[in-house]
Structure formats: C-alpha cells, structure tokens
A and B are shown apart, each in its own frame.
Chain A
Amino acid sequence: MSLKFVIPIIVLFFLVSTSVFASSKSDFDFQYSKYRQSYSEFLLFKKDYLDTSSLDNQQKAILSAKETINVRDLTKAAFTSYVRDLITNNNLNYPPLVSIADNLLESQQFFMNEAVKSQSIITLANLNDFNDNYLNAYIKHEQSIRVGIVAQKIAKLKYFSVQQEKSLASLKSKIQTVTVSQRVSERITELSQNLSQVSEKIDLLLNDLTSEENLATEGDIFFSSKVDQLSEIRALQLSWMDKLIDLDLNYGEI
C-alpha cells in the first residue's frame, strides 16, 4: 500500500479513537442539558395538576414525567459510559479495574433499559409502578457509578505506576552500559522497592473500594475518605520521579 493511503488511514484512526472518548463526555453533556429542560417543564405540569387535577392536566403531567424519566435515564447511561471510558482509556489489563468496568457496563445497560421501559408509561398507575420498581433497583447501580468515579482516579495512578516501571527499566538499561558504583545500584534497588510499595497501596485502595463496608458509606464521606489516600500515592509517585530524574541526569548520560 502506497504511503499516500497509509498516512490518511493512520490520521483517521487517531481521530476516531480520540473522538470516541470525546463523544461519551459530549453525549452526557447533551443528555444532561435535555434533562434539566425537561425536568423544569415537568415541575410546571406537576404543579398545574396538583392545583387543578383535571384529566387534561393529568395527561400532560404524565407525558412530561415520561419524557423526563426517559431523559434522566439516558443521562445516567451516558454518565456511566463516560466514567467507564475514563477507566478503560488507560489500557490497563488489571483485573480489579476490569471488574469495576464490567459493573459499569451492566449499570449502563440497566439505565438504557429503564429509558426504553419508560416509554410504556401511559396511565398514572403505570407511572407509580415504574417509580416504585425504579426506587428499589437504581441504588445498586448508583453505587457502581460512585465506585467508578473513584476507580478512574486509581486507574490513572496505576497507569502512572506502569509508566514508572517502564521508565526505571529504560534507565537501568542506559546505566548498565557502564560500571556503576554500589551507591547507584542501591538507589536503583530502592526505586524498585518503592514502586512495589506504591503498587501495594494502590491494590489496597482498590480492594477497600469494593468492600461491603465501604459500599455502605453514603454521601460525601464516601469520596472524602478516598482523597487523602489518592493524594498520598500521588505524592509518593512524585517523590519517586524526582529520584529517578536525579539518577538520569547524573548517570543516565554517561
């Protein structure tokens, strides 16, 4: 194949792969803006119905509720997809993260199904039944999303960890071409050990994330309790990078 065909194909590939990620975010933004509009209209129709419970007002309110539910669940599906992409875009074949991504896919499917089911709401009884079932079923999937939001941060730290391993390997191969002092060898060993320690912290954080005790935590506490741990790991990774760069500048160019 001649070069004039290969280059456009390569460029198209990168455009498509980046645009897929960009589209899950933009899809969520679009659905969310539709939800906000739909919801504010629903509130007006609901008020009219509660003030004057005529059949006409009821029908309008039900139609508006149906539309709002549809858009709400499409928004949730889009958001779930976006969070899942944030995890999978790191291209890590790491089982705990793969499991979380699979749960998010299941939740995304749940919300899509609910959006489709909402189209069968015709009467007030239909609306009440749908709502009762939804209130029982959605909690588990919302929890999955909250876990996903934290997991995508951990995924990024794990990605950095993998990059650091590769960096250490490349530095080792650069330094090994000359005889190095014992001190340098010790520093390289120390770096290797530090990497393992950080990796253990990441594993611990992930395991804790999906524990039952943690899943039972609600509200802001669920998130705030993770921030310190994420910050600690990031600080360790930064400190590690300083040591690596110091070695590189002093011995890497021999």
Chain B
Amino acid sequence: MAKFEINNPVALKFIADFKSGVLFQPIIAKIKKIRWILISIFLVIVFILFFLLGKNLFNKSTLPVFSPPNLDSERVVTPTQRGSIYDSLKEEIYNFSTELPDPVMPDLNNDINLKKEEF
C-alpha cells in the first residue's frame, strides 16, 4: 500500500498552524472582544428556552377542576343576539349630533378701524 505523504508547502503550513492553534487565534481574539454580547445572547436564549419549557409543563400538568354551581344561584341564560346588517346605519344616526351651531362660527371683528370706541 502506498504511503500517503503531503508535500505541498501551503498544506504543510496549514497543518502546522492547525496543530499549534495559530489558525484559531484571530477567531479567538474576535470572540474575546465580543464575549459579553455573546454571553448576554446565550443567557436570553437559555431564559426563553426555560420559560417555554416551564409553560409547556404547566399546560400539561393542569388538572380539570369541577365545581358544581351554588344551589341558590340562578343561572341566567342570555340568548346570543344575531346582529343586523343595518346596525351600523342605526349607530351612525344615533351618534349624529343635532346641536347648533356646529361648527361654531369664529369670533371675528367685522369692524376693524382706528376710531375711539364709544361706550
């Protein structure tokens, strides 16, 4: 079986950098710069995950509660009212104001002069 040998200098350099960890230094430097942002994002994700987990567990664990109605209380059954397509017109008429004057006439002086006012 032929022995597999790498002779390419670029490949050799890559392997050496990989083994020594030099390849990862720029990435590690960037991570160190933004580490607090990454930690915050991680914490938020963890919080959301635990919140969703808790909500899921709560929903599954809720037991149906049965309580009979009080004997002396009346059950009032309100019939569901079907609306009419003419309700909106009725509401428009109801909301219409018959007050006058509306709009109010602006208070304007029709006699702009430089005469002394006689009282």
Using a CB–CB cutoff of 8 Å, the interface residues on chain A facing chain B are 28, 32, 35, 39, 42, 46, 49-50, 58, 61-62, 65, 68-69, 72, 75-76, 79, 82-83, 86, 124, 127-128, 131, 134-135, 138, 142, 145-146, 149-150, 153, 156-157, 160, 163-164, 167, 171, 223-224, 226-227, 230-231, 234, 237-238, 241-242, 244-245, 248-249, 252-253
| CA–CA, A135 and B89, complex, Å | 44
CB of B106 within 8 A of CB of A49, answer no
Question: In the assembled complex, how far is the CB of residue B70 from the closest CB belonging to chain A, in whole angstroms?
Answer: 34
CB of B111 within 8 A of CB of A82, answer no
| CA–CA, A253 and B11, complex, Å | 83
CB of A224 within 8 A of CB of B93, answer no
Interface of B: prevailing SS: loop
Known: A42-B112, A227-B100, A245-B86. 14 other contacts (CB 8 A): A50-B114, A50-B116, A79-B103, A79-B106, A146-B105, A153-B100, A153-B102, A156-B96, A160-B92, A160-B93, A160-B96, A167-B89, A224-B100, A249-B82
Question: In the assembled complex, how far is the CB of residue A38 from the closest CB belonging to chain B, in whole angstroms?
Answer: 10
Docked complex: B79-119 residues within 8 A CB-CB of A: 82, 84-87, 89-90, 92-94, 96, 98-103, 105-106, 108-114, 116
CB of A46 within 8 A of CB of B86, answer no
CB of A35 within 8 A of CB of B90, answer no
Asked whether A238 and B98 contact (CB < 8 A) given A138-B110, A146-B105, the answer is: no
Asked whether A149 and B101 contact (CB < 8 A) given A131-B111, A131-B113, A134-B110, the answer is: yes
26 sampled A-B residue pairs with Cβ under 8 A: A35-B106, A50-B114, A72-B112, A76-B106, A83-B103, A131-B111, A131-B113, A145-B105, A149-B100, A153-B98, A153-B102, A156-B96, A157-B96, A160-B92, A160-B96, A223-B100, A223-B101, A224-B100, A230-B100, A234-B98, A238-B94, A241-B89, A241-B93, A242-B90, A249-B82, A253-B82
| CA–CA, A157 and B87, complex, Å | 17
Question: In the assembled complex, how far is the CB of residue A239 from the closest CB belonging to chain B, in whole angstroms?
Answer: 10
